[in-house]
C-alpha cells in the first residue's frame, strides 16, 4: 500500500487509483512544495511531520523546497530525517526574486513606509508574493510536475487523509483545490481590481464563458475581496502555465502593485481562477482539516471525522461571507 516516488514502483491495490498507473508508474506527477527560509526549519518540520503522519507516509509523494538563499545542511537534514520520500532543495532563478527593471524603487520604499498594515513595511514579503504569483510553477524542479500541493511552516493537518487528493483532482478534471476562503484586507489590493478590469477589457479572449467572476465581483464592479487562502492549494499546474494566466501575471507585474501596494498571491490566484475557470473545475476540500496561523477549517461531520483533533464548532473560517458566496454562485 505505498508509492515510491513518481518514477518508482506503484504497488497500490486499488482500482480507483490504478487506472492512472498502467505501467507501474506513479498515478500523478505531483509534489508537496514550499518556499521557505532556513530559519523556518522547526516550523516547517512540524508541518512535514503532520503531513507524513496524516497522509504522506502512505503515498510518499516527493517534497520540493525552494529558497532565495542556499539551504543549509542543517535544514536539509532536518527535513530528510522526517520522511522516506524524495526531498529536493533548490534556489531561485535569476530575475524571479527582487525588482523588475521598471519598478521605481524609491516610490516603492515610500509606499512601504506609509503602509501601516500587516507586512506593509516588508520588502521581502513583496518579493515572496511576486514569486509565488508568477514564478514558482516555472522553477526547474517543478518542470515535470502535473500538480503541486502547496505547504507552509506552522500549519496543521487536523485529520487523517485516507485517499490521494492528486488522483482525485486529476480524475475529476479539477484545476484548483482550496480549503479556506477569507476576504482580503482592502489596503493591500487597492488597485488590483481596477487593473484586472483593464486586463479583461484588453484581453477578453482569455475570460471563460462560464466563468466564476460573480465570486470576486460585486454588482457595482468592485472587488469582493474574496480569495482562496493560497498557503493551502492543490493545483493542476497547467493552469498557472497557461497563456491566459501568464498574460494576467505579466499585466499585473507591469502595473507595479506588488511593490506600490502589497498584492498577495492569494487574491491573484483566486481572481485568475474566477476569470479563467468554471465552477466545476474548482474543488473545495471540505474534508481536509487545516490550520494556518489566524484561521482554521474543521470538517463538519466529514467521513474523516473520527480522526480529527479539531472542534467542528471552532472550524469557523468558512462560515464567513466568501465561502457562503462560493456556495451560492453557480
Ligand atoms: P503569510 O502566510 O502571508 O503570513 O506569509 P508567510 O510569512 O507564512 O510566508 C509565506 C511562505 O513564504 C512561507 O512558506 C514562508 O516561509 C515563505 N517566505 C516568506 N518570506 C520569505 C523570504 O524572504 N524568503 C524565503 N525563502 N521564503 C519566504
Ligand atoms: Mn504563512
**Residue 300's pLDDT is what?**
79
Reported as a pLDDT band with limits 50, 70 and 90, residue 9 is very low
Closest by CA to 308, choosing from 296, 323, 320, is 296
**Residue 169's pLDDT is what?**
98
**Residue 112's pLDDT is what?**
98
CATH fold of the domain at 15-328: Spore Coat Polysaccharide Biosynthesis Protein SpsA; Chain A (3.90.550)
The rounded Å distance from CA 30 to ligand 2 centre is 21
- Which residues are near ligand 1 (CB < 6 Å)? 34-37, 40, 67-68, 124-125, 128, 152-153, 231
Closest by CA to 250, choosing from 261, 235, 240, is 240
Q: Are 4 and 62 in contact (CB under 8 A)?
A: no
Chain length of the chain: 330
Is the whole model's pTM more than 0.80, yes or no? yes
Ligand number, closest to the Cα atom of 119? 1
**Residue 313's pLDDT is what?**
77
Residues catalogued as catalytic: 233
Supply the residue whose CA is at minimum distance from atom 18 of ligand 1: 36
Q: Average pLDDT in the 1-20 region?
A: 38
**Structural domain spans, the chain:** 15-328
Q: What is the mean pLDDT of the chain?
A: 91
**Residue 212's pLDDT is what?**
98
Give the ligand 1 atom nearest the CA of 132: 12
Q: Among 17-26, 178-187, 292-301, whose mean pLDDT is lowest?
A: 17-26
How many angstroms separate the CA atoms of 233 and 253, rounded?
22
Q: Average pLDDT in the 126-146 region?
A: 98
The rounded Å distance from CA 119 to ligand 1 centre is 11
User: Cβ contacts of residue 248 below 8 Å, gap of 6+?
Assistant: 196, 199, 203, 206, 268, 272, 275, 276
Reported as a pLDDT band with limits 50, 70 and 90, residue 314 is confident
Select from 34, 35, 72, 124 the residue to mutate for testing ligand 1; criterion: most ligand atoms less than 8 Å from CB.
35
Amino acid at each position: 500500500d505505498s508509492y515510491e516516488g513518481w518514477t518508482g514502483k506503484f504497488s497500490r491495490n486499488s482500482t480507483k487509483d490504478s487506472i492512472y498507473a498502467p505501467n507501474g508508474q506513479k498515478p500523478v506527477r505531483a509534489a508537496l512544495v514550499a518556499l521557505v527560509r532556513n530559519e523556518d526549519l522547526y516550523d516547517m518540520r512540524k508541518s512535514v511531520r503532520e503531513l507524513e503522519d496524516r497522509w504522506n507516509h502512505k503515498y510518499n509523494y516527493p517534497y520540493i523546497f525552494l529558497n532565495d538563499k542556499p539551504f543549509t545542511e542543517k535544514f536539509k537534514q532536518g527535513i530528510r530525517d522526517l520522511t522516506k520520500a524524495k526531498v529536493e532543495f533548490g534556489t531561485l532563478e535569476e530575475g524571479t526574486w527582487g525588482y523588475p527593471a521598471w519598478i521605481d524603487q524609491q516610490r516603492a520604499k515610500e509606499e512601504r513606509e506609509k503602509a501601516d498594515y500587516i507586512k506593509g513595511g516588508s520588502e521581502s514579503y513583496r518579493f515572496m508574493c511576486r514569486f509565488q504569483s508568477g514564478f514558482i510553477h516555472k522553477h526547474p524542479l517543478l518542470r515535470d510536475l502535473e500538480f503541486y500541493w502547496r505547504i507552509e511552516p506552522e500549519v496543521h493537518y487536523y485529520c487523517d487523509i485516507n485517499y490521494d487528493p492528486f488522483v482525485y483532482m486529476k480524475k475529476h478534471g479539477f484545476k484548483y483545490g482550496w480549503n479556506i476562503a477569507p476576504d482580503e484586507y482592502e489596503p493591500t489590493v487597492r488597485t488590483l481590481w481596477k487593473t484586472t478590469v483593464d486586463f479583461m477589457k484588453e484581453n477578453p479572449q482569455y475570460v471563460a464563458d462560464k466563468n466564476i467572476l460573480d465570486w470576486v465581483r460585486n454588482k457595482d464592479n468592485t472587488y469582493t475581496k474574496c480569495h482562496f487562502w493560497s498557503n493551502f492549494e492543490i493545483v493542476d499546474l497547467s493552469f498557472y502555465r497557461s497563456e491566459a494566466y501568464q498574460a494576467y501575471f505579466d499585466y499585473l507585474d507591469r502595473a507595479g502593485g506588488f511593490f506600490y501596494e502589497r498584492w498577495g498571491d492569494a487574491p491573484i490566484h483566486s481572481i485568475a481562477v474566477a476569470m479563467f475557470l468554471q465552477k466545476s473545475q474548482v474543488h473545495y476540500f471540505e474534508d481536509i482539516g487545516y490550520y494556518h496561523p489566524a484561521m482554521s477549517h474543521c470538517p463538519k461531520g466529514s467521513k474523516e471525522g473520527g480522526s480529527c483533533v479539531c472542534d467542528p464548532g471552532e472550524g469557523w473560517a468558512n462560515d464567513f461571507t466568501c465561502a457562503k458566496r462560493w456556495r451560492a454562485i453557480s
